[in-house]
């Protein structure tokens, strides 16, 4: 083989090893698991929402970060029941979606 052909063949082998090695070393990053809760909004700001879950002695407050990618649905105000989907990043609860639940209306008794 000529010197040029040997160089091209060597380059092809090195390229294949480099591409194959890079592909083998990349690990698939599993998606972050998400959780969901339902509770009543205690306070809300641009950056966070505090939700009270449970009742009585089991009631607890959970604070969720509201990011630019957080999906917000409905009128989220203090006292409204909301559903929150979130993921945990270290000790921080990052909301992915916050949805206000529609108010339950009292059943109207038909008049005669």
CATH code of the domain in which 75 resides: 2.40.50.320
Q: Whole domain around residue 47: which residue ranges?
A: 34-100
Number of domains within the chain: 1
Kindly indicate the confidence band of residue 70, based on its pLDDT and cuts at 50, 70 and 90: very high
Kindly indicate the confidence band of residue 14, based on its pLDDT and cuts at 50, 70 and 90: very low
CA dihedral 75, 80, 82, 86 (to 10 degrees): 90
Q: Is residue 110 part of a domain?
A: no
Q: What is the DSSP secondary structure assignment for residue 6, as one 8-state letter? A: H
Average pLDDT over residues 75-84: 96
Q: Is residue 94 part of a domain?
A: yes
Give the C-alpha distances (Å, rounded to integers) separating 37 from 4, 31, 56, 60: 66, 19, 17, 12
Q: What is the pLDDT of residues 55-66, one digit of tens each?
A: 899 999 999 999
Q: Is residue 53 part of a domain?
A: yes
pLDDT of residue 32: 73
Q: Is residue 20 part of a domain?
A: no
Average pLDDT over residues 33-50: 95
Question: What's the alpha-carbon Rg for the chain, to the nearest Å?
Answer: 27
Average pLDDT over residues 80-103: 94
pLDDT of residue 103: 75
Q: Is residue 17 part of a domain?
A: no
Q: Is residue 76 part of a domain?
A: yes
Q: Is residue 70 part of a domain?
A: yes
Give the closest residue to 70 by CA, choosing from 41, 50, 40, 49. Answer: 49
Kindly indicate the confidence band of residue 17, based on its pLDDT and cuts at 50, 70 and 90: very low
Average pLDDT, the chain: 81
Q: Is residue 6 part of a domain?
A: no
In terms of Cβ atoms closer than 10 Å to its own Cβ (0-12, 13-18, 19+), residue 87 is middle
Ranges assigned E (strand) in the chain: 34-44, 48-53, 60-73, 81-89, 92-100
């Amino acid at each position: 083989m000529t010197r040029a052909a040997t160089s091209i063949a060597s380059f092809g082998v090195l390229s294949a090893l480099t591409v194959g090695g890079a592909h083998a070393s990349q690990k698939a990053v599993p998606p972050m698991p998400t959780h969901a809760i339902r509770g009543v909004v205690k306070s809300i700001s641009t950056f966070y929402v505090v939700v009270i879950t449970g009742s009585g002695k089991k009631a607890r407050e959970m604070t969720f970060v509201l990011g630019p990618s957080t999906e917000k649905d409905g009128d989220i105000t203090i006292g409204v029941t909301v559903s929150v989907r979130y993921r945990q990043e270290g000790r921080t609860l990052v909301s992915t979606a916050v949805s206000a639940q529609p108010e339950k209306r009292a059943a109207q008794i038909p008049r005669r």
